[in-house]
Amino acid sequence: MAATEVYLKKMEWPLFGEGNPVIFPPVSELEERISLCRAYMHNRGFTHLLIYGDREHFANLLYLVHFDPRFEEALLILGLEGDPLLLVGNECVSHLTVSPLYQAGRLRYERYQPFSLISQPRNSSRPLAAIFAEEGMVKGAKVGCVGWKYFSYIEFSQPEKMLDIPGFIADTVRNNCGYDAVENGTDIFMSPVYGLKATCSAFEIAQFEFSNTMASEGMIHFFKNFKVGATDFEMVQQYKYTGYPLGCHIGLKSDANQHIGLSSPTGGVIRQGDPCSTNLSYWGSNICRAGWVVANEKELPEKAAAYIREFAAPYFRACSEWLKMLRIGAVGGEIYSRIQELLPFEQFNVFLNPGHLIHFEEWVSSPIYEGSLDTIRSGMYFQLDIIPRSKQYFSSRMEDGYVVADEKLQQELKNMYPDCYDRCMARREFMQEELGFLLPKEILPLSNTAGLVPPFFLDYQTVLSFKS
């Protein structure tokens, strides 16, 4: 049975510590990813994959060779054997050394200047068709194109033919190989059922735990220094932004931008009695909280006086149930239905999926949707991203990252990254012993704010709890 009675509990927030950066994957990790990718290619009949990336849509490229284009675009050509070829623009040539695979001599590159910014030199690149032909993309080849999205029959009659890469690349490869020989292959990376990024290795868990820890420590510092009268620009400085790349824009909604969804700070002043929400997302994490700029229930505006009882507490219970159901073998559609039951749409307006997979990008895909038969598997990395909305009560949020890991994966994490494993175990103990959550044994909380929901931004030490 899940806990149901929700209390307001005054407490010191725990100190779980900060991990050392886990950023650059070993070459063996990248080679294993390429090997798995080639197995998928073989099963689909692909002779080649074209993996496209730009400043916004980089995650699949980063996953495979640990390279993200800065300012420009990039294209990875992966055949069934041999070292892959990475096409980069003028400025990204100097960025190639970010890839351990390149440093090991296992990643070829070619300067392809049309990927550069407008008006930069364009006079020393081969035609794209010639590059493709030399790599074997001619009649008889079958090519999968990987962008950041794939499609279904809901959207198109031939979804496999719909590509989400730039037209000049799509046209060139189709001219070389034939229209029917080119398909969308993005699902190889992003499908919640079988995608390469749908499950994480021990390295990835440690990498994303580092990101979650860094972001959640920023959130903790934000709450400890939150104050009325400051501008939202000033408040964002309390995040102690480290310079690590962001997974999405920093969000902070206060007085000046309440009417703008997904808004970044605009210079508005934090006012007592207003609602407030904020998030910080580094690659591989997104920490988000929402509540009211008050110190206690008595300070809530009259229309929101029942905020805890009617909105925040039911939401907290639903998050607890979500975690309790997140077991290996659980069916995504059943989790979806349970959250809809606990948070009726007419009251909570939860429109998007109640929880989704996260990786370098903030949203990969989700096995949790209406009617889903997709099952939860070991290695899946979830964002507890249940977004309630109310004109009367505003919102609440308990948004952090959680990994589902069986005994084998947990043992690998313990052996390879013992400090990371110990922090995850300490967070589990805190959530269960101090807050009263009932967690399946396979749940690993990656964030230092996991389970902590302060409804009153002027008293962050008062949190929701199943234990008084």
Q: Are residues 87 and 148 in the same domain?
A: yes
Q: Note whether 51 and 66 are within 8 A (CB).
A: no
Residue 35 lies in a domain: no
Residue 31 lies in a domain: no
State the pLDDT at residue 3.
60
Residue where a domain stops, chosen among 184, 207, 239: 184
State the pLDDT at residue 19.
87
pLDDT in tens, 37-73: 999 999 999 999 999 999 999 999 999 999 999 999 9
Q: Note whether 375 and 331 are within 8 A (CB).
A: yes
Q: How far apart are CA 232 and CA 21, in angstroms?
A: 29
Residue 297 lies in a domain: yes
Q: Are residues 165 and 252 in the same domain?
A: no
Residue 39 lies in a domain: no
pLDDT in tens, 414-428: 999 999 999 999 999
Q: Are residues 100 and 165 in the same domain?
A: yes
Tell me the two tokens of residue 403: 């990994």
> 170 is in which domain, residue-wise?
47-184
Task: For residue 282, give the CATH number of its domain.
Answer: 3.90.230.10
| 313 to 5, 134, 317, 401, 427: CA distances (angstroms) | 8, 62, 6, 21, 21
Q: How far apart are CA 418 and CA 415, in angstroms?
A: 6
Q: Are residues 97 and 17 in the same domain?
A: no
Q: Are residues 290 and 148 in the same domain?
A: no
Tell me the two tokens of residue 22: 């886990």
Q: Please tell me the total count of domains within the chain.
A: 2
Residue 37 lies in a domain: no
Q: Are residues 320 and 384 in the same domain?
A: yes
Report the amino acid identity of residue 104.
Answer: A
Provide the sign of the torsion angle of the four alpha carbons 295, 296, 302, 307, taken in this order: positive
Tell me the two tokens of residue 464: 């929701």
Q: Are residues 168 and 289 in the same domain?
A: no
Q: Are residues 210 and 137 in the same domain?
A: no
Residue 33 lies in a domain: no
Q: Are residues 246 and 180 in the same domain?
A: no
Residue 190 lies in a domain: no
Provide the sign of the torsion angle of the four alpha carbons 434, 437, 440, 446, taken in this order: negative
Q: Are residues 319 and 275 in the same domain?
A: yes
Task: For residue 136, give the CATH number of its domain.
Answer: 3.40.350
Tell me the two tokens of residue 396: 């609440």
User: HEC states along 35-81?
Assistant: HHHHHHHHHHCCCEEEEEEECCCCHHHHHHHCCCCCCCEEEEEEECC
Residue where a domain stops, chosen among 184, 215, 245: 184
Mean pLDDT of the chain: 97
| 67 to 61, 64, 99, 245, 435: CA distances (angstroms) | 6, 8, 5, 13, 41
Residue 183: enclosing H or E segment and its boundaries? strand 182-184
Residue 397 lies in a domain: yes
Per-run averaged pLDDT (10 residues), the chain, 468 residues? 82 95 98 98 98 97 98 98 98 98 98 97 96 98 98 97 98 98 98 98 98 98 98 97 96 88 93 97 98 98 98 98 98 98 98 98 98 98 98 97 98 98 98 98 98 98 97
Residue where a domain stops, chosen among 121, 155, 184: 184
Q: Are residues 306 and 345 in the same domain?
A: yes
Q: Are residues 214 and 91 in the same domain?
A: no
